[in-house]
Amino acid sequence: MDPVLVVGAGPVGLAAAAFLAHAGTPVRIIDANAAPTTLSKALVLWRHSLLTLAPLIPPSYWHSIASPVQGACFADKGALFAQLGFHHAPPSGATQRPSSATASSVGAAAAGKDGQATAAASAQQQCGSVHALPAGMLVVQADVETALVALLQDRYGIEVQRNTSLTAFTVADDSSSVLCTVTDTSSSSTATTNQQQQPQELRASYLVGCDGGRSAVRKLLGVEFAGTTLDQRWLLGDFKYEVDAAINAAHKPQHKCEGSLQPGTLFMNPTDVGLMGLIPLGNRDGQLRVVWNADAHCPGEPTIEDFQQLLTAHTRQQIRLTEPVWLSEFKINERQVQSYVHHNGRVLLAGDAAHIHSPAGGLGMNTGLQDAANLAWKLSLVAAGEAAAGSKLMDTYQEERHPVGAHVIRMSGRLLRANALRSPFVRFVRKWVLRALVAVPSLAAKMVSALTGDEICYSRCTLAAAAAAAAAGGAAVRTRQPATAAERQVWGCCKPGAAFPDVSIEVGGVEQSAAVLLLSKPGCLGTLVLMPVAQKQQQQQQADAAAEGGCTAGQQHAAWPSCWGHWPLNVVHVSSAAGSAAGGAESTAAAGAGGGAESTAAAGAAGGGADVAVDAWGLLVAAVAGRAGVGVLVRPDGIVAAVGGPDEVNGWLKKHVVSSSDAAACS
C-alpha cells in the first residue's frame, strides 16, 4: 500500500502521523520548514487533549515536563476583581490509597451489600477525583512537537522529511490514490541541491492536509475558508523577566497576583490602551508571555520598551522584562472550511488548515490534536479495508469534528470580544458579571469545562447512536446506586460518544487517572476496559452456568473480543477495592478470557511490574451507572464506543469493523 502522506509537521500533522503509525498504517510526513520551530504559539494542553493523547503518551509524561494550569486572575487597571480556580488533582503518587477499611466498604458497595451502611461509610471516605487529570498542563507548543517527533522516531522509526513542500496534487481518476508534487525548499543553491529542487512526484494512498492556516492542500482543493479577519492589531512578546519591587513601588498590590505572577496563573487585564494578557510560560522557567490588543497604541515594530511601559503604566505588576525571546504581531481570523473530507475521503483537512480562530481560550492546537486522533484511527481502518462503511467512515470525522471546530470559533470569539471591550461602562458591567459568575461554583465549573473540552461528546453521532440504545437496553446488571457526591457527579457519564472518564483509580498503590488504562502497545487499536464483577453477580453467573450444563464463569467471559478488526485490542482488567483488599482474589469481567492481547498498560504507566488497576473509589463503576461486570470499548481517540456485556461490545465492532467476530463463546 502507498503511504498516507501527511503534509505539515506542526502539532496536528505530527499527532496524525503518530496515531497512524501506532496502528501500523504506512505513513510519510513532510514539512516545508528546515527544522521545527523553538517558538511556541500555543501554551496549554487542556484535559480532553491529555486524554486524547493518552493511548500514545501517558499523562505522567506531561507532569514530568510541565505544571498544571492553576487558574485565571481578572483585573481592571491592574486591580484584581475576580479569580477562577482550575482545580486539579495532586500529581500522581501524592494521594495515598484509601484505608483498607474504606476500601472494603467501597468493595462492599460494588458487591451490592448492605446498601445503606455502605453509603454512609462511603460518604465519609476520601472520594478520589472525578477528574484525576488536571484541567490543563502549561506545555508550550514546541514541547508538544518535540514529544511527538521523538515518539515518531523512537517508537515507529519515522523521520519528518523536512525542506519539502507540497505544491500540487491530483486524485487518480478511479480515486484509488493521490499523486502529489513536492519541492525541495532548502535555501542552499549548490549544484546538488539545484538538482534536488526539481519537483518530485510522490504517490500517496491518502493525503492529509495539516499544513496550517495558509494550507496549500486547502488552496489546491479550491475550497473556501469562509469567515472574517478581525480589524484588530495584536502584539505578542515572550520575555525573560524578574520581579523587581522598585517597579510600581507606588502601587500597593492588594493581592499577590497583582504584584507578581503566580505559577500556572493567567492574568487578564483590560486597560485604556487595550486588553492585555500575562501568562507565565509553564515549562520555560523565568519566561513570560504578554499579549496585547494594541491597535493604534503601539505603531511600528513592538519593542521590549513598549511592553515594559505597558506593564508599568497599566498594571500593579512589579515585573522587569529583561530580554525579549520572541516579538511578533498577528491578526485574528475566524474561519472554517465547510467540509473536512474531500474526494470520497482521499483528501482530508485537520487543524488550522480546517479551522482558525482567536487564541482566546488556548484552543487551536488542542482542537487540531483532537481532529488528528479522530481522523487517524478511522483512516487506518479505511486504508486497511477494515471499515464496514468503507470510505464513508471518514464522513463520521466530518460529522464529529466539524461541529466542535464551529463551536470553538464561536466560543473563542465571544471570549475575545467580552475581554477586549474598552468602554468604561461596559468594562464596569463586565467586571460585576464576571465576579458574580466565578462566585457560583457550578457556573465557574462550566466556564472551566468549556476550555478543558470536558463537554465534547458525540453521543448523537452515527458511531454512538446505536451503541447508546444498545447500552440502555443491554443485559448488564445495575448492582448499586451512587453513594458519594463524587459518584453522583460521574454517575453514568461513561456512555457511547463521551470521553472515557478520567476518574481516580489506583495503580501500584498510587492514585492515577483512569486515562492511564488507554496507553497501548504499538499495533494495538482501541482498549477494552473490563469492570469488576460484583460477588452477587458472579455467584449468579456460576449458578446460571451450572443450571445450563456446567459452563463456568470463565468460559462465559471468553465471549469478550480480543481484537479490533485485525488489530489486537488493549484489554485492561479493573478490580474493585474489595477484590484488591482481599489480595486480588476477586474475578474481573475478563477473568478467564482466553488469548486476548492483554497489555500491562496500567502497570507500565505506573512504572511497576504486574500492578493491578483498582477502582479504589468506585468511580469507574459509578461512571457506568453502577453496572458491575460490564466492558467499556474505548476508541483509539479516547472516546467510548460501546458499554455493556459481550453482546453490546461485539455488536459495535461487528457493525463497524469488517473482520470482527465473536471470540469463542460458551456453547
> Can you give the binding site for ligand FAD, defined by CB under 6 A?
7-13, 30-33, 41-44, 141, 165-166, 210-212, 216, 236, 330, 351-353, 359, 362-366, 368
**Cβ proximity to ligand FAD, 44 vs 464, nearer residue:** 44
Q: Provide the sign of the torsion angle of the four alpha carbons 118, 119, 121, 125, taken in this order.
A: positive
Give the shortest CB-301-to-ligand FAD separation in angstroms: 17
- Cβ-based neighbour number of residue 20 at 10 Å: 28
Give the shortest CB-533-to-ligand FAD separation in angstroms: 41
Mapping DSSP to helix (H, G, I), strand (E, B) and coil, where does residue 606 land? helix
**Cβ proximity to ligand FAD, 30 vs 643, nearer residue:** 30
**Rounded-to-integer distance, Cα 641 and Cα 256, Å:** 46
**Cβ proximity to ligand FAD, 127 vs 217, nearer residue:** 217
Strands 333-336 and 355-356: antiparallel
**Cβ proximity to ligand FAD, 211 vs 306, nearer residue:** 211
Helix (H) or strand (E) holding 326: strand 319-330
**Rounded-to-integer distance, Cα 263 and Cα 253, Å:** 17
Cell (9 digits) for 528: 477494552
Give the shortest CB-365-to-ligand FAD separation in angstroms: 3
**Rounded-to-integer distance, Cα 419 and Cα 422, Å:** 9
**Cβ proximity to ligand FAD, 369 vs 572, nearer residue:** 369
Give the shortest CB-102-to-ligand FAD separation in angstroms: 39
In terms of Cβ atoms closer than 10 Å to its own Cβ (0-12, 13-18, 19+), residue 548 is: exposed
**Cβ proximity to ligand FAD, 182 vs 468, nearer residue:** 182
Give the shortest CB-166-to-ligand FAD separation in angstroms: 4
Mapping DSSP to helix (H, G, I), strand (E, B) and coil, where does residue 412 land? helix
**Cβ proximity to ligand FAD, 350 vs 483, nearer residue:** 350
- Cβ-based neighbour number of residue 440 at 10 Å: 11
Give the shortest CB-131-to-ligand FAD separation in angstroms: 19
Give the shortest CB-81-to-ligand FAD separation in angstroms: 24
The alpha carbon of 23 is separated from its chain's Cα centroid by a whole number of angstroms, namely: 18
**Cβ proximity to ligand FAD, 17 vs 30, nearer residue:** 30
Q: Per residue, what are the HEC states of 387-402?
A: ECCHHHHHHHHHHHHH
- Using CA atoms, how far residue 60 sits from 137, 424, 444, in Å, is 11, 45, 27
**Cβ proximity to ligand FAD, 354 vs 529, nearer residue:** 354
Let me know: does 294 contact 151? Beta carbons within 8 Å.
no
Write b or e for each residue in 531-541: b if 16 or more Cβ atoms lie within 10 A of its Cβ, otherwise e: bbbbbebbeeb
N-terminal to C-terminal alpha carbon distance within the chain: 40
Residue 497 is which amino acid? Answer: G
DSSP assignment letter at 666: P
**Cβ proximity to ligand FAD, 205 vs 412, nearer residue:** 412
Helix (H) or strand (E) holding 539: helix 535-547
Give the shortest CB-356-to-ligand FAD separation in angstroms: 7
Helix (H) or strand (E) holding 311: helix 304-314
Give the shortest CB-659-to-ligand FAD separation in angstroms: 33
Write b or e for each residue in 244-273: b if 16 or more Cβ atoms lie within 10 A of its Cβ, otherwise e: eeebbeebebeeebbbbbbebbbbbbbbeb
**Cβ proximity to ligand FAD, 44 vs 623, nearer residue:** 44
**Cβ proximity to ligand FAD, 185 vs 481, nearer residue:** 185
Note the residue count of the chain.
667
**Cβ proximity to ligand FAD, 42 vs 528, nearer residue:** 42
Give the shortest CB-150-to-ligand FAD separation in angstroms: 17
**Cβ proximity to ligand FAD, 355 vs 495, nearer residue:** 355
Give the shortest CB-423-to-ligand FAD separation in angstroms: 25
Let me know: does 503 contact 513? Beta carbons within 8 Å.
yes
Give the shortest CB-236-to-ligand FAD separation in angstroms: 5
Give the shortest CB-269-to-ligand FAD separation in angstroms: 17
Cell (9 digits) for 334: 475566524
**Which residue has the CB atom at the shortest distance from ligand FAD?**
10
Let me know: does 600 contact 571? Beta carbons within 8 Å.
no
**Rounded-to-integer distance, Cα 623 and Cα 501, Å:** 7
Contacts of 345 (CB under 8 A, 6+ apart): 206, 379, 382, 391, 392, 393, 394, 395
**Rounded-to-integer distance, Cα 166 and Cα 545, Å:** 61
**Cβ proximity to ligand FAD, 185 vs 462, nearer residue:** 185
Give the shortest CB-371-to-ligand FAD separation in angstroms: 8
Give the shortest CB-313-to-ligand FAD separation in angstroms: 23
